[in-house]
Structure 1
């Protein structure tokens, strides 16, 4: 498919695009989540616990039948230095990234980013030089 064709959506595809500008209760932490903050075009995760819900097949279409909780499992730092949350569906295993929002809890984001350092796959020996 050529680049121009990939950018043009059919009318049928456009009818499924859904932006979320409404409040909701987070299915994971139970907190009330208000509409989007600065820097986001739609709300797709809880700003407190960073969980999401598996709603889309393609971003914004709301066509997924799964509806499982999307657990935040990591942070992806894009080339432009923007952070995205990596989510994995707890029901079906689907993985998707979502841009962070301006009101996301900074401590929760930092804990998520630092988590791999607390679960190293090898023993860490402080004070010893590497033999490599």
Structure 2
């Protein structure tokens, strides 16, 4: 099971690292980011996000940082936490806008498996028993 977790973590991390680096390289060389054909609703929202000039760099940075963090065992839980909002957005985008339930579920499923395999790192989030720092 450890080797399975390592392989999944590395493949997922390398995928997101590639996406982040690829977006920044495309920006540096001035080539547009290639997008697959999308339904009209999905195209409208991705066009709006791209036109804002803010969302795409944040998504690319989250992919780059989250993917890189997943490649190291010690920082993998932080990589999972960085990628969780992005992967949730990818899941919702594909389920509700593109109808590609499999692709969205694949991302969320792999992230859920990784979170489960690293669940001991997240345990302090749910079992905090310290005093309230505000009081």
Same fold (TM over 0.5): no
**Larger fraction in helix:** 2
TM-score scaled by length of structure 1: 0.30
**Larger fraction in strand:** 1
Higher RCO, 1 vs 2 (CA within 8 Å, ≥6 residues apart) = 2
Please identify the structure whose Cα radius of gyration is greater: 1
